[in-house]
């Protein structure tokens, strides 16, 4: 239901004007590895279009596919649009927060991912975490409706180690989390 099909044609901006977005990687383990909009410049062309949202995945831009390309390449492609006034985007609408559901019948099952400072840093291929939607590079925001934003690393590990049955988590790309919590200043392109 949250998939937007078809292209967005945006008469976005003046020639020489930037699009006004910050993009981040969607995270390893996502169905389509591409970039997502993490921030939009206040009153910039992207925000003024009213058609783009934080969390949107960009599939193609002016006919160039961004799927599977490194972040730096995608940034260069977007920067290269400065001379254009019309931009055609193919996007998939995604909420900025990823809902994860891990089914762990008992503690003998390994969760199959590792965490450092609330950020998922590795994932076991084919494990229960990967099947549940865990993505490398994402920051854990919530575990079973309990916010872990201000929770120390040891406590997060303890909560996860003892969790059984259905484990519900909310995660988002760590780079987006840092922007939203003002730990990082956005650099718009």
Q: What is the DSSP string of the chain?
A: --PPPSEEEEE---TT----EEEEE--BT-SS--EEEEEE-TTSHHHHTSS--TT-EEEEETTEE-TT--HHHHHHHHHTTTT-SEEEEEEE---SSEEEEEEESSTTS---EEEETTEEEEE-TTSHHHHHT--BTEEEEEETTEE-TT--HHHHHHHHHH--EEEEEEEEEHHHHHHHTTSS-----
Q: What is the CA radius of gyration of the chain?
A: 18
1 falls in which pLDDT band (50, 70, 90)?
A: very low
Is the predicted pLDDT of residue 53 greater than 80, yes or no? yes
Answer with the residue of higher pLDDT: 104 or 95: 104
Phi then psi for residue 32, to 5 deg, are -115, 110
- Whole-structure pTM over 0.85, yes or no? no
User: How confident is the model over 171-183, as a mean pLDDT?
Assistant: 88
- Burial category of 139 from C-beta neighbours within 10 Å (exposed 0-12, middle 13-18, buried 19 and up): buried
Answer with the residue of higher pLDDT: 86 or 116: 116
31 falls in which pLDDT band (50, 70, 90)?
A: low
159 falls in which pLDDT band (50, 70, 90)?
A: very high
Is the predicted pLDDT of residue 2 greater than 60, yes or no? no
pLDDT value, residue 3: 47
90 neighbors 59 (Cβ within 8 angstroms): yes
What distance in Å separates the CA atoms of residue 111 and residue 33, rounded to the nearest whole number? 23
Answer with the residue of higher pLDDT: 161 or 88: 161
185 falls in which pLDDT band (50, 70, 90)?
A: confident
Is the predicted pLDDT of residue 4 greater than 60, yes or no? no
């Amino acid at each position: 239901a949250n998939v937007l099909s078809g292209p967005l044609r945006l008469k976005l901006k003046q020639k020489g004007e930037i699009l006004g977005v910050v993009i981040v990687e969607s995270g390893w383990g996502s169905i389509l590895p591409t970039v997502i909009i993490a921030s939009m410049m206040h009153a910039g062309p992207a925000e003024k279009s009213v058609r783009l949202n934080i969390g949107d995945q960009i599939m193609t831009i002016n006919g160039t596919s961004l799927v599977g390309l490194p972040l730096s390449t995608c940034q260069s492609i977007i920067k290269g649009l400065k001379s254009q006034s019309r931009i055609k985007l193919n996007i998939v609408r995604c909420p900025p927060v990823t809902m994860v559901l891990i089914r762990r019948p008992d503690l003998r099952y390994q969760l199959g991912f590792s965490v450092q400072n609330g950020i998922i840093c590795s994932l076991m291929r084919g494990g229960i975490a990967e099947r549940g939607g865990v993505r490398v590079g994402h920051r854990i925001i919530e575990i079973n409706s309990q916010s872990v934003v201000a929770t120390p690393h040891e406590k997060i590990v303890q909560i996860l180690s003892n969790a059984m049955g259905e484990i519900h988590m909310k995660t988002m790309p760590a780079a987006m989390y840092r922007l939203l919590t003002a730990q990082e200043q956005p650099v718009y392109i």
